[in-house]
Amino acid sequence: MPTLHFDQPDGSRTTVDAPVGISLMEAARQHAIPGIVALCGGACACATCHVYVDASWFATLEPPEEMELGMLESAAEPRVGSRLSCQVPVTAALDGLTVSVPRCQAG
């Protein structure tokens, strides 16, 4: 199973193993990663699973669709690397992926 790292604004890191096929958000939620609330459960309707994907990984992901881009534009603290984690499927290629939780969502 691919290994994923979730970094918090306070510098703490949680590392989890996630099965291929679920979303990054589901992996985070199953492990109760702080700041990834994911209220809509992956419907791309709430932007409460917003994360920053590390620059080295960002380009390797399938680009976001229009709906996700629209959500991200007005999400809290958007920046380069912003993604809704519910829209990123876990694949074998993502082994070692690091994402950060935005400060305003954490805690």
Q: Would you tell me which residues interact with other proteins (CB under 8 A)?
A: 22, 26, 29-32, 34, 37, 39-41, 43-47, 66-71, 73-75
CB nearer other proteins, residue 43 or residue 55: 43
CB nearer other proteins, residue 29 or residue 52: 29
Please give the Cα distance from 101 to 55 (Å, whole number): 14
User: In the complex, what is the shortest distance from the CB of residue 26 to other proteins, in angstroms, rounded to a whole number?
Assistant: 7
User: In the complex, what is the shortest distance from the CB of residue 56 to other proteins, in angstroms, rounded to a whole number?
Assistant: 27
Cα dihedral value 3, 8, 52, 1, nearest 10? 10
Please give the Cα distance from 44 to 54 (Å, whole number): 21
